[in-house]
Amino acid sequence: MIEEQVVLVDPQGRELGLQEKMHAHREGALHLAFSVLLYRETGGGREFLMQQRAMGKYHSGGLWTNTCCSHPRQGESMEQAGIRRLGEEMGVSGISQLEDIATFLYRAELDNQLVEHELDHVLVACVSDLTIEPNISEVMSYRWWPQAELEQAVVSEPEQFTAWFSQVLDYVVQY
């Protein structure tokens, strides 16, 4: 199995090198990441495609989060990485473009003595017809979540969501 690397950066996003993914998460090293949130417009308003992380994930198992998220590989654009992970996590293909709408820096202490310290790019796309075949080692469940209901759930039950999701949602709602 190939060792997965993350791209280390400074707070301005300048690349500093590579580090093995789990080592970076144990140390809390700042690295590049992205969060994809697909949405659709319906007669009842905007809905977001959310996933519940598989219990076996290395952190945040069982929590709800954006459509997919991960880390770009060295030399891979955020858009390429987002499209790749949509396929790997959610079994979604046919997305040809993602829009990078925001970047934010966050640090969160997680379960399993891991730390997320990421410069996270928020990637979005409006979709209509979508085939979803999630990878069961990545995703326990998924659903289309109406915007108003999702915003309320994030406020009333924040423990049900990943550490980064509320910030992702804030940027997407403002978009």
Residue pLDDT, tens place only, 92-150: 998 999 999 999 999 999 877 889 999 999 999 999 889 999 999 999 999 999 999 99
The model's pTM is: 0.94
Is 69 among the catalytic positions?
A: yes
3-state secondary structure of 14: coil
Is 25 marked as binding a ligand?
yes
Q: How many Cα atoms are found within 13 Å in the side-chain-facing hemisphere of 16?
A: 14
Is 99 marked as binding a ligand?
no
Q: For residues 17-53, b (16+ Cβ closer than 10 Å) or e, as one string? A: eebebeebbeeebbbbbbbbbbbeeeeeebbbbbbbb
Q: Which of 118, 138, 149, 157 is catalytic?
A: 118
Across the chain, mean pLDDT equals 95
- What percent of the chain shows pLDDT beyond 70? 99
Is 23 marked as binding a ligand?
no
Mean pLDDT score, 35-64: 95
- Alpha-carbon gap, residue 70 to 49, rounded angstroms: 16
Q: Provide the pLDDT confidence category of residue 80 given band limits of 50, 70 and 90.
A: very high
Q: For residue 144, what are the CA distances in angstroms to 80, 118, 130, 148?
A: 24, 26, 11, 12
Is 68 among the catalytic positions?
A: no
Q: Provide the pLDDT confidence category of residue 59 given band limits of 50, 70 and 90.
A: confident
Q: Provide the pLDDT confidence category of residue 2 given band limits of 50, 70 and 90.
A: low
Q: Which of 69, 109, 138, 151 is catalytic?
A: 69
Is 20 marked as binding a ligand?
no
Which domains does the chain carry?
5-174 (3.90.79.10)
